[in-house]
Amino acid sequence: MNRADVDTKIRSLIEPFNKKGIAITDQTTFAGDLEFDSLTVMDFVAAIEDEFDIIISMNQQAEIETYGQLVDAVCKLQND
Amino acid sequence: MSQGISQPDQPVIREGDTPDLFSKFDPLIQQRKDLLDSGIEDPFSLVMEKVLSPTSAICNGRETILLGTYNYMGMTFDPDVIAAGKQALDDFGSGTTGSRVLNGTYQGHREVEQALREFYAMDHAMVFSTGYQANLGIISTIAGKGDYIVLDIDSHASIWDGCALGNAEVVPFKHNDIEAMEKRLRRIPEGAGKLVVLEGVYSMLGDVAPLKEMVAVAKRYGAMVLVDEAHSMGFIGPNGRGVAEEQGVIDEVDFVIGTFSKSVGTVGGFCVSNHPKFEIMRLVCRPYVFTASLPPSVVATAATSIRKLMRNADKRAHLWENSKRLHAGLRKHGFQLGTKEPQSAIVAVIMPDLERGAAMWEALLKEGLYVNLARPPATPANMTLLRCSLCAEHSEEQVETILGMFERAGKRVGII
């Protein structure tokens, strides 16, 4: 899957969690713009992990602040 | 006429108002201030002026029934336990002033570890100064950089802190969800070290883990398993060894973590294990090595209490009756509870929000009842809870009195 495909998939996965319908760009932050709390993060990460059959540890999550960083991380984890 | 009226505002910048490292606590300081400004008694600075028994005390000047102490077996005032503590104070002094690996291992520390080995029928027991340190020490020492820890999202703070201290890769799964746990174990890279961390009873809602299934899954993926049985020791399982014993999987569990500050009735923490190399932990576990050991009186009271907990079938049966009576009564009054059926000696009453939770807590205190107010972020799903923990020493009449207090307070605050 290339970056554009990963991006499309994650965009559809984020929808149910994007309660305020914020327009999502690579710079959108999870904590600030999307106001994700720790439980939302867990459910959202689980949805991504299941879709791509990968594991994103909390240590890796700590490095991911923006949507763009998440797409990059998933691309990288997929190729590992 | 006041002279001040024509003067413009003169805002004063008080010392401590400039932004510094404490600025991150401002939202919490404000929340606390708002709560106290509404006239409520501070739920987090209660003082017990006098403790009358395991189930009653004078709190903020009132005689109060204690329903939030985790003193499950009521051992704190057991005459044998107290006598053992006094004797140890006389014979060994007030403290060890040293680490377990230097000058801090007395006869009593050996004896309490022997009592634990017998209680759990395990080969090794290691006593820490608190339960928090037991989780912190064992988890951070066995799971290091590059290893994976798979744990329940509702795990206790001491488990999370142990994960962070050891620098392992931390992978949480949805509370008590066997499939979610299995998926995460399956995706861990081959060859990596794996530790699964579970609790027997989860202290916020008082629910029990499906350990039988979860331990089997963990073993299938070659993971070591650590189970925190802090809230089950002494009354769950045929020998009071906890939920893992109750569900028949204690032999598959690599490490059981426990505490002396609940059923045992004092303070301290421990890990028991059958791992053949376990004793090396005494040299490599920093929260064990770099702190002073428990005072002689504490280990003497713990050892006496643990030995008494081995034979207490009547008290255990009464504790379950209490738990069932309180659970059924609260449900009947229309309170929303953390579990459909009572699964442990913890009954969690779910509050609609923090404001009404705090108001209900205060109303109960004025009725003469102490429960724990638990609030986010310590609680699952950002709930505000009134957490009740029963004691084997609560009488049937006390439980009925408690139910009456809940009914009156609940109606006054408008929750039922």
Query: The domain that contains A63 carries what CATH number?
Result: 1.10.1200.10
Q: What pLDDT, on the 0 to 100 scale, is given for residue B280?
A: 98
Chain A within 8 Å of B145 (Cβ-Cβ)? no
Cβ contacts of B188 on chain A, cutoff 8 Å:
55
Q: What pLDDT, on the 0 to 100 scale, is given for residue B130?
A: 98
Q: How close A43 comes to chain B (CA, Å)?
A: 8
The two three-digit tokens of residue B323, written as one number: 């738990």
| C-beta atoms surrounding B215 within 10 Å | 25
The H-assigned helical ranges of B337-413 are 354-367, 396-413
Q: What's the pLDDT tens digit per position in B168-220?
A: 999 999 999 999 999 999 999 999 999 999 999 999 999 999 999 999 999 99
Question: Is the reported ipTM for this assembly greater than 0.95?
Answer: no
Q: What's the pLDDT tens digit per position in A51-79?
A: 999 999 999 999 999 999 999 999 999 88
Interface test with A, best of B148, B178, B187 (most A CBs within 10 A): B187
Cβ contacts of A59 on chain B, cutoff 8 Å:
169-170
Which residue in chain A has the smallest CA separation from B183?
A50
As beta bridge partners, residue B337 has: B349
| CA pair distance B9, B30, nearest whole angstrom | 23
| CA pair distance B362, B42, nearest whole angstrom | 8
- Residues in chain B where the model's pLDDT stays below 50: 1-5
Cβ contacts of A43 on chain B, cutoff 8 Å:
174
| CA pair distance B172, A58, nearest whole angstrom | 8
Q: How close A61 comes to chain B (CA, Å)?
A: 10
Q: How close B170 comes to chain A (CA, Å)?
A: 5
Which residue in chain A has the smallest CA separation from B381?
A39
Which residue in chain A has the smallest CA separation from B164?
A59
On whether the CB atoms of residues B57 and B368 are closer than 8 A, the answer is: no
Q: Quote the number of domains for chain A.
A: 1
Which of A39, A43, A59 is facing B170, going by the closest CB pair? A59
Q: Would strands B224-228 and B255-259 be described as parallel, antiparallel, or unpaired?
A: parallel
Q: Do B172 and A58 touch (CB under 8 A)?
A: yes
Which amino acid is residue A63, in one-letter code? E
Domain, as residue range, for A73: 3-79
Is the preceding peptide bond at B376 cis, omega within 30 degrees of 0? no
Q: Would strands B62-66 and B56-59 be described as parallel, antiparallel, or unpaired?
A: antiparallel
Q: How close A25 comes to chain B (CA, Å)?
A: 27
Q: How close A50 comes to chain B (CA, Å)?
A: 8
Q: Which of these, B338, B397, B313, lies nearest to B203 by C-alpha position?
A: B338
Q: Do B171 and A42 touch (CB under 8 A)?
A: no
Q: What pLDDT, on the 0 to 100 scale, is given for residue B377?
A: 79
Q: Do B153 and A42 touch (CB under 8 A)?
A: yes
